[in-house]
Amino acid sequence: MGSTVATTLLLLLTAVPAIFAVTFQVGDTAGWTTGVDYTTWVTGKTFRVGDTLEFQYGPSHSVSVVGKAGFDSCDGSGATQSFSDGDTKFDLTTVGTIHFLCPTPGHCLSGMKIAVSVLAAAPTPSTPSPPSSPRSPPPSPPSSTPSPPSSPKSPPSPPSSIPSPSKPPTPYASPPTESDSPLTPPPPPNAAFKGVMSYGVIGVTMVLMYGAI
């Protein structure tokens, strides 16, 4: 697994320059021919290692790579490389200035020469670091569902027997008066009558005895 990842990264890094490489068609639509100002064509362009110059030309032309002396004098006898296939693709592999000209007599003097300054390849974009491992999820809540809060306590029931209000204290009883004492029941009529008769008899007897004396 590790070797596969390393191989994939290596292939990606190798492909990066190719992805950002640019192919320049020399002279644009005019191509490689006489009557074109290649000094103006080069102006404003940036050439880097990894880019490609494409020369498209007819059978009367060719492309030679020369040194600065040959370039200045339009002398292609000391060319290090020469091409005449009509569609030459030249890869820029080193930093520095590369000089090209057409060796056909009179063509270089007519302007068919070009000096290209090559810069280092564009900086490789930094490889994004692998995403950090996702954070572990927060601990799951306890499996047991918390019991609902206990129902509120019922208010205490009133006592079954409500104490009766205390009886008011018995007012202080005043001593019974004579009027309050019960009357002596009158003697039965017969007994009173007998008493009166007895007293009468006694009285009459005493009167009679007193008169006799």
| Structural domain contains residue 49 | yes
| Structural domain contains residue 15 | no
| Structural domain contains residue 112 | yes
The whole domain housing 41 covers: 21-119
| Structural domain contains residue 140 | no
The predicted structure's pLDDT at residue 138:
63
Tell me how many domains the chain contains.
Answer: 1
- Give residue-wise pLDDT tens across range 85-104: 999 999 999 999 999 999 99
- Region class of 81: left (phi > 0), else alpha (psi between -120 and 50), else beta: beta
Neighbouring residues of 108: CB distance < 8 A, sequence distance ≥ 6: 74, 76, 101, 102
For residue 61, the domain's CATH number is 2.60.40.420
Beta-sheet pairing, 23-25 with 52-56: parallel
| Structural domain contains residue 27 | yes
What is this structure's pTM? 0.52
Q: How far, in whole angstroms, is CA 34 from its chain's centroid?
A: 66
91 phi, psi to nearest 5 deg: -85, 135
| Structural domain contains residue 2 | no
- Give residue-wise pLDDT tens across range 163-203: 555 555 555 445 555 444 445 555 555 545 555 455 566 66
User: What is the per-residue burial (b if ≥16 Cβ within 10 Å, else e) of 60-97?
Assistant: ebbbbbbeeebbeebbbeebeeebeeeebebebeeeee
Q: In what order do the strands lie in the sheet with 52-56?
A: 23-25, 52-56, 87-91
What is the arithmetic mean of pLDDT over 129-138? Answer: 62
| Structural domain contains residue 146 | no
